[in-house]
Amino acid sequence: MASRTSNQRADRANVAATAAKLAALGRMTGPELAAQYETLFGAPPRSRNRQYLRKRLAYRIQELAEGGLSPRALDRIDQLIRLAPPPWRRPAAGSHGLAAQPRLAPATRDPRLPSPGTVLTRIHRGVEHRVTVLVDGFEYRDERYRSLSKIARKITGTPWNGFLFFFGRSGGTRKLSEGSGA
């Protein structure tokens, strides 16, 4: 009888300690949560999102206190993983001992844009502005830009959709000329 009572007290103390650890997670800062994560999981977290870290830490604290999943549940998870489609996102380079994945090829050029060498002309407030289309961007007043929107903002002083600024709503051109623009 005495051992049963002492076991119950130990269980209650264990539950109280677990509850205290879980409550402490709510008061921890991001760096404190990351340090706790590294302590409990043995690796730095892949995310610094506090809510995510709290959830993972809460699960791990309870797992250590109460025991993890049963071997049967772990076997079932392994079976289901083999049936699951591959993940959409690739793991971060160097995580879990995996090699870095090669980057995908950059997106192709916007098909709405004219060919490189074309000069776009737009008159704004009585001033003619000429932009040369390049293979990898645009040139305006001897400066290179990656987007027409940046040039439109420089011209007007306000944010603009660069395509609409230079081509209008119909997608037609204001004034185009092929060649070097000189």
Determine the Cα–Cα distance for residues 133 and 149; give it in Å rounded to an integer.
Answer: 13
| 123 lies in some domain | yes
Q: Which of 33, 58, 80 is the last residue of a domain?
A: 80
By the 8 A CB rule, do 118 and 130 touch? no
**180 versus 142: which is more confidently predicted?**
142
Note the pLDDT of residue 97: 52
Same domain, 76 and 126: no
Per the DSSP assignment, residues forming a β-bridge with 9 are none
| 99 lies in some domain | no
91 pLDDT band, cuts 50/70/90, is low
pTM attached to this predicted model:
0.41
Contacts 24+ apart (CB under 8 A), 18-23: 18/61, 18/62, 18/65, 18/66, 21/61, 22/58, 22/61, 22/62
* Structural domains of the chain, count: 2
Q: How confident is the model over 116-141, as pLDDT tens digits?
A: 899 999 898 999 999 999 988 899 99
**Full domain range(s) for residue 170:** 118-176
Q: Which of 21, 52, 80 is the last residue of a domain?
A: 80
Same domain, 122 and 171: yes
| 65 lies in some domain | yes
Q: Which of 62, 80, 98 is the last residue of a domain?
A: 80
**3 versus 25: which is more confidently predicted?**
25
Tell me: pLDDT of 181 over 50: no
**176 versus 37: which is more confidently predicted?**
37
Tell me: pLDDT of 88 over 90: no
172 pLDDT band, cuts 50/70/90, is very low
E strand segments, the chain: 119-124, 127-134, 137-140, 143-145, 176-177
125 contact partners, CB below 8 Å, separation of at least 6: none
Q: How confident is the model over 9-59, as pLDDT tens digits?
A: 667 778 888 899 999 999 999 999 999 999 999 999 999 999 999 999 999
**CB-count exposure of residue 164 (10 Å: 0-12, 13-18, 19+):** middle
Per-residue tokens: 166: 């230079």
**103 versus 88: which is more confidently predicted?**
88
